[in-house]
Structure 1
Amino acid sequence: MDQDQLAPDLVDTGFVLPGSTQHQDIYAVIDLGSNSFHMLMVKVVGGSVQVIGRVKRKVRLASGLNDNLVLSKKAMTRGWECLALFAERLQDIPSNNIRIVGTATLRLAHNVKVFLTEAEKILGHRIEVISGEEEARLIYLGVAHTSSSDSNRLVIDIGGASTEMVIGHGFSPLHLASLHMGCVTYLDRYFSDGLLSEDNFNAAIAAAEAETIGVAALFLGTGWQLSVGASGTVQAMQEILVGQGMDEVITLTRLETIMQQSIACGQIDKLDIVGLAQERKQVFASGLSILIGLFRQLHIPGMTLSGGALREGILYGMLPQLQHTDVRNRTIASLMVRYYIDQQHANRVAEMALQLAHQLQDQWNLAKFEGLSMLRAGALLHELGLLIEYKNHHHHGAYIISHTELPGFTRAQQQLLMALVFNHRADIQRDIIAKQTMTSVLLAVRLTRLLRLAVILSMRRKHEALPEVQISAQAEVLLVALPKGWLEQHPLMRAELEQEVAYQQAAGWQLQVR
């Protein structure tokens, strides 16, 4: 970004050009879901999106849909009252930067025009009711734009009245399905008595399995290597697992254990499970039943939470300049610009780190869990905190990573990236490295050790000053060999490497330099 673009933000002149607006780079997306209404507001900053507002209201529109598919006045009123809150935030945003969509309940309701007429009057904008397949496509794009994957992935989003399933690769969905089951409709159908009984769960799970059978063969035939969930139900399950001291991977065994915990509570209004948020309790059992049915029919080995879904898919559709780019690289580039990282030096450290890693690949298998990609990201961002101050810049950088939305990185990857940046210099905090979920702690340790060496070997910040390094490993003992006489010619580097041997020894790691 050049200085001319920065100047108007830095100097308040009180003068605005005729016809200009300060909000051309602000976008808003509203999702009128069957369970909740959501509004997402973002600002485009440094080639990436920065969330500046999120509003969510439980409307449970689907609960107002009767057997004749007529939406009750009471449910519509709840929706209109919510939209009146949203309308205030839309007033200063250009119309072309706003998109509002309705999903399953509005697709089904015969009297949808009654709701839409009043809703559009309140918002001052048109509402688009999208098809189930379009919803699934947008959900997939939302996932693709907020998380990176080099393989086929299964994406599942359990809504209030429908469940969307997608298999895709990169930014391209391969198979789309929208099924008539949701956490609100299943609540009314199978848990209307408020009981968390085994019979109620079994009936809901059986219905979910029956609904899924029609598409299971196609999806299983295509196959996937990664499965992610993009709904509040999946988020609730993950929060429960973490709250109960487990990692974030959702499995069928764990879901069935959570179901037994629910049954032990007896009633929905007495539901009390460690890690379960209050706002999810009403539709928790129905969402859990659907998820168990999906796991059983699709033989899903494990699932994690995605970073985006429908709203993000709609948003990126309005931002052609950010479409079909490497999500992780876009995030890293944005952070480097925003925090004035020396890009030339960051790339130098990344090249050194990967050079070391490739020499150890046969011995340490650093490519698993996208280890090489994470090592590169840690190297590129290791000086993230320098903008704040030098002495503790590794701590500042780790804090920024922990408290920033990082599209392209899962929560587990974000945790690993934070640990790498925190430990790239000075004393090693092994307890931070140990807090890994999807990545093995051993891999995190190995990546940390290589990043630290790369930072030291690149300390002169000149490419021609980089030494020719040979590195090998005997189990977890690292052996670093430098050209003959090089250490004598570089006494400061020698002192730094001797100090690093002591740091790693204090952490319980053996490093030998010769």
Structure 2
Amino acid sequence: MQNNTSYAVVDLGSNSFHMMIAQVVAGSVQIIGRVKRKVRLASGLNENMFLSDEAMQRGWECLNLFAERLQDIPRENIKISGTATLRLAKNVDTFLEKAEQILGFPIQIISGEVEAQTIYKGAAYTSSSNKKKLVIDIGGASTELIAGEGHLPQVFTSINVGCVTYLDRYFKNGVLSEANFNSAIEAAELEINNVKSKYSAFDWQEEVGASGTVQAIQEILMAQGFDEIITLERLNAIMQQSVSFGFLDKLAIKGLVQERRLVFPSGLAILIAIFKQLNLTGMTLAGGALREGQLYSMLPELTKLNVRERTIKSVMTRYHIDTRHAQRVSELSLELAEQLAPNWDLNQFEAIDILKSAALVHEVGLQVSYKDQQIHASYLLANSNLPGFTTAQKNLLTAIVRNHRDDIDHSMLSAQTTTSVLLAIRLVRILRLSVILSLRRTDEVLPNIEVSIVGEELSIHLPNGWLEANPLSAAELHQEASYQALQGWQLKLT
């Protein structure tokens, strides 16, 4: 029986074939299935652009797996697309005829421009930022460069540079030498140089990578103790690590998963070339790309809200959070943050928005148990898909929620990477006070509160007689001063 709320997107890429199954739950996209197979279709293209029988057979075998699951999805909720290799193959009709028989659905071969625009939209729909951005996607046989603002791609190009084709061309012997890397980098730079003038006038504020190569590099950086920001210096350091292993079959960089190893050096070389030619300074990983762009094109109602707001709203609905109280704590947190902002740097790393989000979902753990609710909440959030939050932002959100009451787990605060530990501590202190001051869960009894700061000594100024009139709240505030004192943080009540 078909489920009308389920959607499927199939991407016949040059390196891998992907199938993503999703449904809409509580106003948010929930991924309920993913299937990925390394087909390496691009390696089957010969110099005359004919696809080998062996490569086509690998593709057909993969589609046999996909076909079973697609039977359960309404036809109008399915999109199947082919990209660079199928665009280039002169005998593509031979592949498509059997592929469509296997799937029972038509396959659309999309142009490089359409692919680039869809990738951008996938990145934009899964990001909370409306800043001007440059999006990069390194595929198996092509690389897409897209600049845009908000959800609108404005400058886009697809070039015939890919991690599978470059693997066969520059690392075919499996030797990881500086000479091989430099040859690949120089070749990619020549291709990028042909189109870079299109981007020179576009003053982007964010650099986003939407490919497996970028994800692999981010995983390496974080496994080796760095933050998630990719820079040219860090890319060159990873290249030197790769060279030190000598051969591809011995490549064992800390943080590099086995399945990414084969095409990692060629993808790394292409990314270095992009950084050099376009003068990039710091790239983060996108939350989505081609498949997400195709999926959201079937769900236009979900593209109207800011993705982070949509995610938080969905979490609140799914876990039956008391919306009014969550808003109360959030509003108080923002009020305190505004008073402290002149002395505490709370403008970095979208800290105010992370604080707001943490306040709105801090009671997620109540759905498990009142006891240790903060631990339950942090576990649920850490293991949930949260579109609109980068890995580091999600880690910060989780750490703040984990520490919104009772004993303070300083290890989670000190584990922050992209942001400073001090910023995480400041946000936790604000949320903890907001939770205590909202103890009675009603607006009418909230006092007029002023906060001030000297260094890291935080003072709360309450109306005369309020502490005496609210003994339970007073006891909680005095207990909170003790909790913070154990961490070396000073809290004064006046």
Q: Name which of 55, 59, 68 aligns with 1:88.
A: 68
- 2:405 corresponding residue in structure 1: 425
Check whether the contact 1:488–1:494 (CA below 8 A) recurs between aligned residues: yes
Counterpart check, 1:36 vs 2:16: yes
Check whether the contact 2:130–2:151 (CA below 8 A) recurs between aligned residues: no
- 1:282 corresponding residue in structure 2: 262
* Deviation string, structure 1 residues 88-116 (Cα, Å, up to 9, x no partner): 11111110111100000011111111111
Q: Name which of 187, 194, 217 aligns with 1:207.
A: 187
> 2:154 is matched by which residue type in structure 1?
L
Counterpart check, 1:154 vs 2:138: no
* Deviation string, structure 1 residues 249-308 (Cα, Å, up to 9, x no partner): 211111111111111211112212111111111111110100000011111111111111
- 1:221 corresponding residue in structure 2: 201
Q: Secondary structure at the match of 1:79?
A: helix
Question: Quick one: distance in 1 between partners of 2:424 and 2:147?
Answer: 30
Q: Name which of 443, 454, 459 aligns with 2:439.
A: 459
Q: How many Å apart are 1:245 and its aligned residue?
A: 2.1
**Which structure 1 residue ranges, 5 or more long, are not aligned?**
1-20
How many pairs align? 494
Q: Name which of 438, 458, 466 aligns with 2:418.
A: 438
1:238-257 correspondence runs (5 A): 238-257=218-237
Range moving further from structure 2, 28-37 or 432-441:
432-441
Q: How many Å apart are 1:236 and its aligned residue?
A: 1.0
Question: Quick one: distance in 2 between partners of 1:226 and 1:346?
Answer: 31
Counterpart check, 1:341 vs 2:321: yes
Counterpart check, 1:294 vs 2:274: yes
Check whether the contact 1:204–1:286 (CA below 8 A) recurs between aligned residues: yes
- 2:35 corresponding residue in structure 1: 55
> 1:25 is matched by which residue type in structure 2?
T
1:234-383 correspondence runs (5 A): 234-383=214-363
- 2:483 corresponding residue in structure 1: 503
Q: How many Å apart are 1:196 and its aligned residue?
A: 1.0
Question: Quick one: distance in 1 between partners of 2:456 and 2:198?
Answer: 45
1:133-172 correspondence runs (5 A): 133-172=113-152
Check whether the contact 2:11–2:18 (CA below 8 A) recurs between aligned residues: yes
Normalized against structure 1, the TM-score is what?
0.95
- 1:14 corresponding residue in structure 2: none
**Which structure 2 residue ranges, 5 or more long, are not aligned?**
none
Range moving further from structure 2, 115-124 or 259-268:
259-268
> 2:108 is matched by which residue type in structure 1?
E
Question: Quick one: distance in 2 between partners of 1:274 and 1:491?
Answer: 54
Q: Secondary structure at the match of 1:178?
A: strand
Q: CA 1:220/1:504 → structure 2, altered by over 3 Å: closer, same or farther?
A: farther
Q: How many Å apart are 1:169 and its aligned residue?
A: 1.5
- 2:58 corresponding residue in structure 1: 78
Question: Quick one: distance in 1 between partners of 2:198 and 2:77?
Answer: 37
Q: Secondary structure at the match of 2:482?
A: helix
**How large is the Cα RMSD of the aligned pairs?**
1.0
Question: Quick one: distance in 1 between partners of 2:423 and 2:310?
Answer: 25
Q: How many Å apart are 1:53 and its aligned residue?
A: 0.5
> 1:168 is matched by which residue type in structure 2?
G
Q: Name which of 146, 171, 183 aligns with 2:163.
A: 183
Q: Secondary structure at the match of 2:156?
A: strand
Question: Quick one: distance in 2 between partners of 1:150 and 1:463?
Answer: 33
> 2:55 is matched by which residue type in structure 1?
A
Counterpart check, 1:406 vs 2:386: yes
Q: Name which of 411, 415, 427 aligns with 1:447.
A: 427
Q: Secondary structure at the match of 1:66?
A: coil
* Deviation string, structure 1 residues 404-439 (Cα, Å, up to 9, x no partner): 110111111110110011000000111101121222
* Deviation string, structure 1 residues 322-353 (Cα, Å, up to 9, x no partner): 12321001001111110000000000000000
Counterpart check, 1:67 vs 2:47: yes
Check whether the contact 1:197–1:266 (CA below 8 A) recurs between aligned residues: yes
Q: How many Å apart are 1:22 and its aligned residue?
A: 5.3
Counterpart check, 1:174 vs 2:154: yes
Q: Secondary structure at the match of 1:364?
A: coil
Q: Name which of 209, 212, 235 aligns with 1:232.
A: 212
> 1:195 is matched by which residue type in structure 2?
V
* Deviation string, structure 1 residues 22-49 (Cα, Å, up to 9, x no partner): 5000111000000000000011111011
> 1:167 is matched by which residue type in structure 2?
A
Question: Quick one: distance in 1 between partners of 2:200 and 2:330?
Answer: 39
Normalized against structure 2, the TM-score is what?
0.98
Check whether the contact 2:206–2:283 (CA below 8 A) recurs between aligned residues: yes
* Deviation string, structure 1 residues 214-243 (Cα, Å, up to 9, x no partner): 232332321212111111111111111122
Check whether the contact 1:164–1:179 (CA below 8 A) recurs between aligned residues: yes
> 2:257 is matched by which residue type in structure 1?
A
Check whether the contact 1:171–1:324 (CA below 8 A) recurs between aligned residues: no
Q: Secondary structure at the match of 2:196?
A: helix
Q: Secondary structure at the match of 2:252?
A: coil
Check whether the contact 1:40–1:54 (CA below 8 A) recurs between aligned residues: yes
Question: Quick one: distance in 1 between partners of 2:69 and 2:172?
Answer: 36
Q: CA 1:168/1:432 → structure 2, altered by over 3 Å: closer, same or farther?
A: same
Q: Secondary structure at the match of 1:222?
A: coil
Question: Quick one: distance in 1 between partners of 2:422 and 2:263?
Answer: 39
